[in-house]
């Protein structure tokens, strides 16, 4: 078990990276088709991490490990990122935050079906965290269409199920597992992009390139690596608690970048979310 400060730093980094990824996806999907966006993102990030792993002397995955990586990469990465990118063309950020914040609840459900049910303290922490997210969006305009809302819920459920599968299927060790998962996700999305007839945009906006670069470097290389590291030492519901802080980070970015204001309700909601995270952290070692 690594130092608790190292685990805390990894969890904080995961929260900051993925909380800011909503803005990157919004910019990137403005020019790139959703399936092509995921293909480029995971192919580049997975290829870089694969070469780094080989340079560090990590062994190549076995056939069974490639099969496990393909399953996890398809469910947790491909079936999460693409529906989320599609949905962000249609729904408000408030509705997206509520949908993504359901990841810990989906994780608890799948963990109960495949591993074991959480204790009452964890259920209480999950309820408090979700109440904070709902409160954060209570005064917002949740004007998303039903198709976009369903896509976000599918994305949240897929991520939660993939998190549980990482503890049930054979995977390579260390960063090679993350690299194999991203390469498999990129291959699956590439086939989907070809089937849909997507093409590279003629003149992507500079903000789209910036969003794509952020998704490759931070959301994929940094974020997914941190998540894989956390899954080795903490319970899935704790590793997925970043979903509660996503709307908090989004609000902060809105204030710093877009000049938006923060209401009293939003500040109260942030306090409730932090309280839920603290309860979740204390529910298990």
Phi, psi torsion values for 90, nearest 5 degrees: -125, -25
Interatomic CA distance for residues 134 and 142, integer angstroms? 11
Q: What is the pLDDT of residue 225?
A: 85
Q: What is the pLDDT of residue 47?
A: 96
pLDDT mean across residues, the chain: 84
What is the Cα 261 distance to its own chain's centre? 26
Residue 29, pLDDT > 80, answer: yes
Quote the tokens at residue 112. Answer: 């109960």
Confidence of residue 150 (pLDDT cuts 50, 70, 90): confident
Quote the tokens at residue 60. Answer: 């190549």
CB-based contacts of 241, cutoff 8 Å, min separation 6: 11, 15, 104, 129, 277, 280, 281
110-134 pLDDT tens trace: 877 776 776 778 788 878 887 877 7
Confidence of residue 139 (pLDDT cuts 50, 70, 90): low
Among 189, 188, 171, CA closest to 180: 171
Confidence of residue 185 (pLDDT cuts 50, 70, 90): very high
Interatomic CA distance for residues 14 and 78, integer angstroms? 19
Q: Are 190 and 13 in contact (CB under 8 A)?
A: no
Q: What is the pLDDT of residue 134?
A: 77
194-240 pLDDT tens trace: 999 999 988 899 999 999 999 999 988 898 888 888 888 887 777 87
Could you tell me how many residues make up the chain?
Answer: 285
92-101 pLDDT tens trace: 666 677 777 7
Mean pLDDT of 268-279: 78
Q: What is the pLDDT of residue 285?
A: 47
Q: Are 45 and 231 in contact (CB under 8 A)?
A: no
Among 76, 78, 22, CA closest to 190: 78
Between 34-38, 41-45, 141-145, the lowest mean confidence (pLDDT) is in 141-145
Interatomic CA distance for residues 236 and 104, integer angstroms? 8
For residue 227, give its domain range. Answer: 4-283
Measured CA distances, 234 to 25, 74, 121, 175 (Å): 28, 23, 16, 17
Q: What is the pLDDT of residue 42?
A: 96
Between 41-45, 66-70, 89-93, 164-168, the lowest mean confidence (pLDDT) is in 89-93
SS (H, E, C) the chain: CCCHHHHHHHHHHHHHHHHCHHHHHHHHCCCCCHHHHHHHHHHHHHHHHHHHHHHCCCCCCCHHHHHHHHHHHHHHHHHHHHHHHHHCCCCCHHHHHHHHCCHHHHHHHHHHHHCCCCCHHHHHHHHHHHHHHHHHCCCCCCCCCHHHHHHHHHHHHHHHHHHHHCCCCCCCCCHHHHHHHHHHHHHHHHHHHHHHCCCCCCCCCHHHHHHHHHHHHHHHHHHHHHHHHHHCCCCHHHHCCHHHHHHHHHHHHHHHCCCCCCCHHHHHHHHHHHHHHHHHHHHCC
Residue 244, pLDDT > 80, answer: no
Residue 141, pLDDT > 60, answer: no
58-89 pLDDT tens trace: 999 999 999 999 999 999 999 999 999 998 88
How many domains are contained in the chain? 1
**Percentage of residues in the chain with pLDDT exceeding 90?**
36
Quote the tokens at residue 48. Answer: 């870089």
Residue 103, pLDDT > 90, answer: no
* pLDDT greater at residue 107 or residue 215: 215
Q: What is the pLDDT of residue 143?
A: 53
Sign of CA dihedral 270, 271, 276, 277: positive
Between 47-51, 154-158, 182-186, 249-253, the lowest mean confidence (pLDDT) is in 249-253
């Amino acid at each position: 078990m690594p130092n608790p400060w190292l685990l805390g730093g990894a969890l904080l980094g995961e929260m900051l990276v993925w909380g800011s990824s909503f803005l990157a996806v919004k910019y990137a999907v403005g020019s790139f088709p959703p399936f092509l966006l995921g293909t480029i993102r995971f192919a580049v990030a997975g290829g870089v991490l694969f070469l780094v792993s080989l340079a560090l002397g990590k062994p190549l995955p076995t056939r069974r490990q490639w099969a496990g990586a393909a399953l996890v990469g398809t469910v947790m990465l491909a079936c999460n990122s693409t529906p989320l990118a599609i949905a962000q063309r249609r729904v408000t950020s408030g509705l997206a935050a509520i949908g993504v914040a359901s990841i810990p609840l989906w994780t608890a459900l799948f963990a109960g079906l495949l591993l074991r049910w959480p204790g009452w303290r964890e259920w209480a922490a999950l309820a408090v965290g979700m109440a904070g997210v709902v409160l954060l969006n209570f005064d917002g305009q949740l004007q998303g269409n039903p198709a976009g809302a369903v896509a976000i819920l599918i994305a949240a459920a897929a991520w939660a199920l993939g998190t549980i599968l990482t503890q049930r299927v054979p995977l390579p060790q260390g960063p090679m597992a993350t690299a194999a998962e991203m390469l498999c996700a990129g291959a699956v999305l590439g086939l989907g992009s070809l089937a849909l007839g997507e093409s590279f945009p003629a003149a992507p906006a500079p903000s789209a390139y910036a969003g794509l670069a952020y998704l490759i470097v931070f959301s994929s290389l940094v974020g997914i690596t941190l998540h894989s590291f956390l899954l080795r030492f903490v319970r899935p519901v704790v590793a997925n608690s970043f979903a509660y802080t996503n709307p908090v980070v989004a609000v902060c970015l809105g204030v710093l970048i877009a000049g938006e204001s923060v209401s009293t309700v939003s500040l109260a909601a942030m306090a409730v979310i932090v309280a839920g995270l603290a309860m979740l952290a204390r529910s298990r070692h």
